[in-house]
């Protein structure tokens, strides 16, 4: 194999990883967020937990940008846009989910409500971003939602915290808005530094929320440390950078539809890690969800 052929092979491998494997790696990493929350939240109040996690992730990203000699000093406009995206994606979305779980809302209920995001994004993207939504994609979105409900339906509990449910809907609004904002405003912002500024803004908001609510307790146990390390490296660095990469290279609707795969993936992880059983209904729902996502993302980018 000569140099030109070797270079072509490398390019093909990068393309495979970027366009074929990245969506599913993102789903896996993102789905572990509920697992990390389950391990970590018993040892820390939600807002201070998230604030510390996000500030540490920002420091890692600034260090990574310096090592890679990527841009760090962004323009005022880029910092403002990044901060706005960070407020919705990290402060509202993550803050809402973590607060809801801390109030007794099950991960299943939180996952079902936040899984409405693909529908919200797809409908709004038609108006705001001018994206086209083909009928087969719409059918895929509906199938995905049905599959998620089938997987997580048995987890619903009538005695759910009202404030917790409100927090999950705030999280849904945050993730929907952040996706649309990044697609419209964030494509040209350097990814690593831009994400770091997102974290600085969101971390500050969450720290204020922690102080305002009096929730500043952290018990530094080994389990908390493991949860924190995983959430920083796998979620705040790995999954979020993958999400922004996917948004830069595909439609908002197709990327958002991947979130339908997160609850089924979380259910499978809970089965292996916590021995939470997946019933026949759940297996059927996972299949419907996977087919729905395939219909949305197949040949749409």
Tens place of pLDDT for every residue, the chain, 301 residues? Answer: 444 443 444 444 455 455 667 788 888 888 888 778 878 889 999 999 999 999 999 999 999 888 888 888 889 999 999 999 999 999 999 999 899 888 877 766 677 677 777 777 777 776 676 667 677 777 777 777 777 677 666 655 555 677 888 898 899 899 989 988 888 887 788 888 899 999 999 999 999 999 999 999 999 999 999 999 999 999 888 888 888 778 777 666 667 667 767 777 777 777 776 666 656 666 677 677 667 766 765 654 4
Q: What is the pLDDT of residue 227?
A: 92
Q: What is the largest CA-CA distance in the chain?
A: 66
Instruction: Please give the C-alpha separations between residue 79 and each of 42, 76, 117, 142, 267, in angstroms, as whole numbers.
Output: 34, 5, 26, 36, 37
Give the pLDDT of residue 177.
Answer: 92
Phi/psi of residue 73, each to 5°?
-80, 95
Residue 215: what pLDDT?
92
Residue 18's contacts (CB-CB under 8 Å, 6 or more residues apart) are 245, 249
Token pair for 239: 């999954």
Query: For position 13, what pLDDT does the model report?
Result: 42
Q: Which residues, other chains included, contact 165 with Cβ-Cβ below 8 Å and sequence gap of 6+?
A: 100, 105, 109, 113
Q: What's the confidence (pLDDT) of residue 2?
A: 47
Characterise 257 by phi-psi region: left (phi > 0), alpha (psi -120 to 50), beta (else): alpha
């Amino acid at each position: 194999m000569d140099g030109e052929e070797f270079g072509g092979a490398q390019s093909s491998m990068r393309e495979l990883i970027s366009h074929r494997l990245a969506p599913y790696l993102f789903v896996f990493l993102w789905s572990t967020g509920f697992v990390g929350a389950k391990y970590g939240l018993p040892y820390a109040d939600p807002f201070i937990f998230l604030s510390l996690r996000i500030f540490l992730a920002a420091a890692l990203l600034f260090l990574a940008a310096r090592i890679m000699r990527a841009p760090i000093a962004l323009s005022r406009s880029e910092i403002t846009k990044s901060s706005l995206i960070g407020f919705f994606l990290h402060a509202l979305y993550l803050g809402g989910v973590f607060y809801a779980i801390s109030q007794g809302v099950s991960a299943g209920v939180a996952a079902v409500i936040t899984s409405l995001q693909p529908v919200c994004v797809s409908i709004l993207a038609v108006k705001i971003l001018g994206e086209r939504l083909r009928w087969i994609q719409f059918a895929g979105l509906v199938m995905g939602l049905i599959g998620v409900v089938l997987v997580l339906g048995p987890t619903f509990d009538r005695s759910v915290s009202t404030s917790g449910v409100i927090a999950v809907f705030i999280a849904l609004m945050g993730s929907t808005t952040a996706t649309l904002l990044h697609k419209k405003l964030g494509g040209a912002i350097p990814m690593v530094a831009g994400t770091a500024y997102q974290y600085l803004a969101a971390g500050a908001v969450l720290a204020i929320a922690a102080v305002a609510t009096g929730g500043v307790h952290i018990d530094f146990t080994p389990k908390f440390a493991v949860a924190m390390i995983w959430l920083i490296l796998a979620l705040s660095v790995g999954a979020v950078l993958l999400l922004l990469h996917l948004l830069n290279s595909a439609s908002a609707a197709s990327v958002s539809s991947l979130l339908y795969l997160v609850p089924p993936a979380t259910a499978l992880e809970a089965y292996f890690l916590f021995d939470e059983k997946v019933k026949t209904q759940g297996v059927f729902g996972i299949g419907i969800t996977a087919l729905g996502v395939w219909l949305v993302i197949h040949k749409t980018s």
